[in-house]
Amino acid sequence: MAGLSGDQVLEIDDKTEDIQNNINKDSNCDSNLTNREVTDKAGLVVRGEENSNNNNQGGERDMAPPASNSIHRSGSRPQLDLSKAAIQGSSEERDPTILLPNQSDDISHLALDIGGSLIKLVYFSRHEDRSIDDKRKKTVKERLGISNGNRRSYPILGGRLHFVKFETSKLNECLDFISSKQLHRGGIDSHHWNSEAPANENAVIKKATGGGAYKFADLFKERLGVSIDKEDEMDCLVAGANFLLKAIRHEAFTHMEGHKEFVQLDHNDLFPYLLVNIGSGVSMIKVDGDGKFQRVSGTNVGGGTYWGLGRLLTKCKSFDELLELSQRGDNRTIDMLVGDIYGGMDYSKLPPSILKSSQIGLSASTIASSFGKAISDKKELEDYRPEDISLSLLRMISYNIGQISYLNALRFGLKRIFFGGFFIRGHAYTMDTISFAVHFWSQGEAQAMFLRHEGFLGALGAFMSYEKHGLDDLMVHQLVERFPMGAPYTGGKIHGPPLGDLNEKASIVGFCDIWPESINPLEINGPGLGLSCSKRISWMEKFVLKGTEITAPVPMAPPGTTGLGGFEVPSSRGGTLRSDASALNVGVLHLVPTLEVFPLLANPKMYEPNTIDLSDHSELEYWFTVLSEHLPDLVDKAVASEGGTDDAKRRGDAFARAFSAHLARLMEEPAAYGKLGLANLLELREECLREFQFHDAYRSIKQRENEASLAVLPDLLMELDCMDEEARLLTLIEGVLAANIFDWGSRACVDLYHKGTIIEIYRMSRNKMQRPWRVDDFDLFKERMLGSEGKKPQPHNRALLFVDNSGADVVLGMLPLARELIRRGTEVVLVANSLPALNDVTAMELPDIVAEAAKHCDILRRAAEAGGLLVDAMNNTLDGSKENASSVPLMVVENGCGSPCIDLRQVSSELAAAAKDADLIILEGMGRALHTNFNAQFKCEALKLAMVKNQRLAEKLIKGKIYDCVCRYEPAN
C-alpha cells in the first residue's frame, strides 16, 4: 500500500540528494524551484534540538503574545465598573449588548443547600466577553446572517458553574470560603440574580435550602451580612434533578456488579420518574414534570442512620472513614444468613417436604436478618470488628432503601428510579447494593440509576430559583464540563492562615481544591484569598509539593470476604472508593450559550464523535502510555513557549503532575468524568495546559512553519496552474494528504522532524503518495467534481474546510484546495480552532496567513476580500489579470473548540450558521477525520482526508500501516 514506511522516512538525512524533485513530481512546467533554494527561502531547519536550545535561551520571548492575550483575573472583588459603558451596535436593537470597557472581573452568584451533615454550594462565575469583534467576524456575521438580535439576554455570554461542599460541622470554613471568593456580594434581590451589588451590602440576599438555611440564617447575616432566602427543599431537589437530567449528557448511569454505564435519556420521555434523595433521611418523590411532583414516601432510615449508628458502634470520626472501614468488612460475622438458619443450605435446595414454595430462591448467603447473629452470639460490642459492623450497617440501609424505592415505583407504575444525595458518594459498593435490591425485588424489571451530581440536587435547585438567569432552558450542547486540577480532589477545605514561608506549606490542606477555576494561580497568595504574602512565587512550590502527594487515588485492598451474604453477591467490593472518599467526580460546568449542534449531522441523536472506544481497557492503556510518553517533550515545548523562565519551568512541572494525576485517575476509573473517548483525553491535555497558563505551546513552531510554507507557495501555485484539471485535482488531494505529516502530536512525526527540514519532509512525503491509498475514493470525488462522459456537474455552493495543522498542512495543502474550489465558483469557509491545540492553526491566525498567501494569488485575494479577510484591500493585481469582478468569498470561522479533535454536537454558532448553505464538508487530519468523525454521517457530501501517523491506529482502523492515507468520499445522506 501507499505511504511512507518508517525506514523510508529515516533515509531523509542521508539522502537529501534524492529529494531534489520539485513539489510537483509530474509537472511538465519548467519549475526553477530547487531544493536548495527552497530551504534558503524558507530559512528554516526544524531540528527539534536546535529549536529547544533556542527556546531555552529565551529566544521565544519575542514571539510571546501581547499581554492582553493572557487572561487577567484580579483577586480583588468583582464590582461592576460602569464607567465608559456604551451600547454596542444599534441602541434600537431589542437587547443590545452593553460594553463595559473597564469591567475586568468575574461576577459570581451563589446558592446553598445546608444539610444536617454537609453544606453544598453551587456558585456561578461569569466572565465578560472580552473578545475583539474584529472586521473578519463582522463580515462573516453579515455574510452568514448572524445578528446580535438572537443572542440570549441571560446570562449575557455564559460563565461557569462550580460545585463545592463542606461538612456542616465546619461551617466556619464554608463562610471563609464564601468570603474569600466574595461570593456573598453581588445580586441584590432574591429574584433577579443578575442585578448588581447595591451600595448597602445588608440588602444582599442569597438563596438557600435545607434545614441549615433556617438554623444558620443569623450566622450568615452576622458574618457575611447576607440574608438567606429560604427555598423549599423538595422544590429544589426536583428542579436540580430536572436540570441535570436534561442538560448534562453523561449525568445518569447504572451501576451493577462494579460496572458503570451511562444512560442516554430521551428528554421528551423523561417523566414520570421516581427521585430518591438519600440524605440524612430519605425522600421519595414522584416527578411528573418541571415543578410538578409529589413526595410519595420516604424513610427515616438513611444516611444519618448509617453515620449515627456507625459512629456509636465503631467510634469512627467521619462518614468517609466509616465507609472506608466497610470495605475491609465481612458482614457474615454479624448478619444472620439463610445458611445460618438452614445449616448452610440454600433455601431452595431444601427437600420439597420442607420447602413450601421453591419460588423464593433465597441462597444460603442471603441476609435473613441484619445484625441477627448478635442475638445468639455471646459477644459484646468490642468483640465485633468495626469493619464488619460498618459493612453490615451499610448493607442493611442500602438494601432497605432500594427495596422501599422499588415498591414505590411499583405503586405508581414508574419505570425509572434515580438515586441522589450524598449518602451515595459515588461509592461503588453502595450503588451496587441498591441496584441489587431494585433488581432483586423487581425481578429484573426495574433498574436503579444514579446521578453524577448526586449531592448537589438541592443546591442546584436553589440556584435555579433565581429568576431570569437563563439556565433553565440551557441545552445539553451548551454545557461543557471541564475537570480542572482541583476538581478530582475537591474536599471543600479551606486554606489555613497566611503562609509565611515554604516550611509552612505542608500545613495547607486541600491546597489545590479551590484555586484553579476562579483564582488566578499566580495570585494565590495575593488578595484572592484574603491572604497576604510577599513571596509571590511560593504557591507553585507548594503546589508542586502538594502535587507529589496527589498520587493517583489508590484503591483500597479488596476485602475479599465482603459481599458474601447478600441477596446474592454484589461483585463490586467498593474497590473504587478512593482514599479521599469525599472527592467529587464532577467538574466545573462551563455554560456557553453560543454552542450549537452542527446542523449537517445526519442523525445528531445517534452521533458518537469518538471512533476508538476507550472502555476497552487495552485501548485505554495504550493511549495512556502514548500520552505519558509525550509528556516530557510537551513540557519542554510549553516551557520554551513561555521563555523558559523559572516560573515557566515550575508551571511546566506542575502541569506534568496535574495531567499525570488525571490520567492515573482515569486509568483507575475510566468513567469517572463521564463517558471517556480519545477526544476527551486529548482535550483534557489542552485544557490542563491552559489551566497552567500555557496558552500556545507550539506558537513559535507554527510561525516558523507558516513562514517556510508561505515562501514556497507561489511556486506550488504556478506548477498547479500548468496542469490540466484532472492532474491538478489529484495533485491537490495528494498535497493535502502529504502535508498532513506535519503533526507535532504524533511521536513518529516528531522523531522525523529531528531528521530533516520541513521542506525535505514535505517533498519526501509527496513523492511517496502513490495511489491507491489505503482508503481511496478519489475517483468518486473526481467524478463529482469534474463529471464524466463530457457532463459538467454543478459546482458546490459552499464548502466547509475543517483545517488542521499550521505550516505546510494549511498553506500548501488546504489553501490550494480552497483556491481550486473558489475557482470553480464554490464559496469556501475555512473552519479552524477557536483556541490553540498542539500545532493546529487557529481561526485567529488564519486571516494573516490568508492575507500573506493572497499577496501572491489573485484568486485568493479577491475571495478573501469578498469574505472580509483582507482589511486593506490591495489595489494592484499581482498576476496582471484585470478580472476585478467580485468573487465568491473565502471566509474563516471558528469551530468553538480548543482540541485536536472535534465533537460536532458542540460547535460555535458561527460555524452552525455557515453550515446552513453548505453542500460539501472536507474534514482534514487525524484528530478531526479519524479519531473523531470517521464514522459520522452528514446530510451533505463529505470528504475525509488524513494521513495516519500512528501504527496502532493504522492497523485498527484501516488494516494498514503508519503513513498510509485515507481519502474517504461520502455522498449526501
Ligand X SMILES: CC(C)(COP(=O)(O)O)[C@@H](O)C(=O)NCCC(=O)O
Applying CB under 6 A, the residues found at the interface with ligand X are 626, 682, 740, 743, 745-748, 804-805, 838, 900, 925-927, 931, 946, 949-950
Bridge partners (DSSP) listed for residue 159 = 126, 591
- Closest by alpha carbon to 830, among 142, 845, 698? 845
Q: Residue 419: helix, strand or coil by DSSP?
A: strand
For residues 608 and 21, is the Cβ–Cβ distance under 8 A? no
Cell 437563563 belongs to residue: 470
Contact between 251 and Mn ion by CB under 5 A: the answer reads no
Smallest gap, in angstroms, from Cβ of residue 805 to ligand X?
5
Q: Taking the CA atoms of the chain, what radius of gyration do you get in angstroms?
A: 31
Of 408 and 839, nearer to ligand X (C-beta) is: 839
Of 581 and 945, nearer to ligand X (C-beta) is: 945
Of 230 and 747, nearer to ligand X (C-beta) is: 747
> Which residue type does 271 have?
F
- Closest by alpha carbon to 813, among 870, 886, 732? 732
How far apart CA 522 and CA 647 sit, in angstroms, is 10
How far apart CA 966 and CA 776 sit, in angstroms, is 6
Contacted entry of ligand X, Mn ion, none for residue 665, CB cut-off 5 to 8 Å set by kind: none
Contacted entry of ligand X, Mn ion, none for residue 565, CB cut-off 5 to 8 Å set by kind: none
Of 926 and 958, nearer to ligand X (C-beta) is: 926
Question: DSSP assignment, residue 340?
Answer: H
> Which residue type does 253 have?
F
> Which residue type does 640 have?
A
Contacted entry of Mn ion, ligand X, none for residue 408, CB cut-off 5 to 8 Å set by kind: none
How far apart CA 268 and CA 401 sit, in angstroms, is 28
Smallest gap, in angstroms, from Cβ of residue 465 to ligand X?
43
Smallest gap, in angstroms, from Cβ of residue 928 to Mn ion?
8
Of 139 and 895, nearer to Mn ion (C-beta) is: 895
Rounded (10°) CA dihedral 703, 706, 712, 718: -150
Contact pick of 585, 805, 834, 950 for Mn ion (by CB under 5 A): 805
Question: In this chain, which stretch among 663-671, 710-718, 750-758, 920-928 interacts with Mn ion, using CB under 5 A?
Answer: 920-928
Contact between 642 and Mn ion by CB under 5 A: the answer reads no
Question: In this chain, which stretch among 38-46, 317-325, 466-474, 919-927 interacts with Mn ion, using CB under 5 A?
Answer: 919-927
Smallest gap, in angstroms, from Cβ of residue 723 to Mn ion?
28
Contacted entry of Mn ion, ligand X, none for residue 3, CB cut-off 5 to 8 Å set by kind: none
Of 589 and 966, nearer to Mn ion (C-beta) is: 966
How far apart CA 40 and CA 43 sit, in angstroms, is 5
Smallest gap, in angstroms, from Cβ of residue 889 to ligand X?
26
Cell 484555586 belongs to residue: 515
Of 478 and 806, nearer to Mn ion (C-beta) is: 806
Of 330 and 903, nearer to Mn ion (C-beta) is: 903
Of 583 and 634, nearer to Mn ion (C-beta) is: 634
Contact between 705 and Mn ion by CB under 5 A: the answer reads no
Contact pick of 60, 596, 804, 865 for Mn ion (by CB under 5 A): 804
- What grid cell was written down for 208? 438557600
Q: What are the φ/ψ torsions at residue 544 (nearest 5 degrees)? A: -60, -40
Contacted entry of ligand X, Mn ion, none for residue 747, CB cut-off 5 to 8 Å set by kind: ligand X
Contacted entry of Mn ion, ligand X, none for residue 776, CB cut-off 5 to 8 Å set by kind: none
725-739 and 815-823 are packed helices; what angle lies between their axes, rounded to 10 degrees?
A: 150
Of 126 and 702, nearer to Mn ion (C-beta) is: 702
> Which residue type does 724 have?
D
Handedness of CA 545, 551, 553, 558 (dihedral sign): negative
Contacted entry of Mn ion, ligand X, none for residue 626, CB cut-off 5 to 8 Å set by kind: ligand X
Label the pairing between strands 798-802 and 827-832.
parallel
Contact pick of 229, 776, 840, 964 for Mn ion (by CB under 5 A): 840
- Closest by alpha carbon to 742, among 801, 790, 808? 808
Contacted entry of ligand X, Mn ion, none for residue 746, CB cut-off 5 to 8 Å set by kind: ligand X
Question: In this chain, which stretch among 248-256, 362-370, 783-791, 921-929 interacts with Mn ion, using CB under 5 A?
Answer: 921-929
Of 4 and 926, nearer to ligand X (C-beta) is: 926
Of 18 and 633, nearer to ligand X (C-beta) is: 633
How far apart CA 686 and CA 833 sit, in angstroms, is 12
Smallest gap, in angstroms, from Cβ of residue 744 to ligand X?
8
Smallest gap, in angstroms, from Cβ of residue 121 to ligand X?
37
Of 665 and 928, nearer to ligand X (C-beta) is: 928
- What grid cell was written down for 284? 421519595
Of 280 and 610, nearer to ligand X (C-beta) is: 610
Contacted entry of ligand X, Mn ion, none for residue 296, CB cut-off 5 to 8 Å set by kind: none
Minimal CB distance residue for ligand X: 745
**Conformational region of residue 220, where left means phi above 0, alpha means psi within -120 to 50, and beta covers everything else:** alpha
Smallest gap, in angstroms, from Cβ of residue 702 to ligand X?
12
Contact between 895 and Mn ion by CB under 5 A: the answer reads no
Number of residues that bind Mn ion (CB under 5 A): 5
DSSP string over 352-405: TTT-S-TTS---TTSEEETTTHHHHS---GGGS-HHHHHHHHHHHHHHHHHHHH
- What grid cell was written down for 91? 441602541
Smallest gap, in angstroms, from Cβ of residue 13 to ligand X?
21
- Closest by alpha carbon to 453, among 479, 429, 478? 479
- What grid cell was written down for 663? 490520567
Smallest gap, in angstroms, from Cβ of residue 924 to ligand X?
8
Smallest gap, in angstroms, from Cβ of residue 804 to Mn ion?
4
Contacted entry of Mn ion, ligand X, none for residue 545, CB cut-off 5 to 8 Å set by kind: none
Smallest gap, in angstroms, from Cβ of residue 271 to ligand X?
41
Question: In this chain, which stretch among 75-83, 259-267, 512-520, 836-844 interacts with Mn ion, using CB under 5 A?
Answer: 836-844
User: H-helix or E-strand containing 337?
Assistant: strand 336-337
- For residue 774, what are the CA distances in angstroms to 4, 352, 955? 12, 67, 11
Task: Please write down the HEC assignment for all residues of 190-242.
Answer: CCECCCCCCCCHHHCEEEEECCHHHHCHHHHHHHHCCEEEECCHHHHHHHHHH
Smallest gap, in angstroms, from Cβ of residue 900 to ligand X?
4
Of 388 and 804, nearer to Mn ion (C-beta) is: 804
**Conformational region of residue 885, where left means phi above 0, alpha means psi within -120 to 50, and beta covers everything else:** beta
Q: Is the peptide bond before 836 cis (omega within 30 degrees of 0)?
A: no
> Which residue type does 418 have?
F
Smallest gap, in angstroms, from Cβ of residue 746 to ligand X?
4
Contacted entry of Mn ion, ligand X, none for residue 950, CB cut-off 5 to 8 Å set by kind: ligand X
How far from each other are the two terminal CA atoms of the chain, in whole angstroms?
A: 29
Q: Residue 639: helix, strand or coil by DSSP?
A: helix
Of 424 and 737, nearer to ligand X (C-beta) is: 737
Chain contacts with Mn ion (rule: CB under 5 A): 804-805, 840, 900, 925
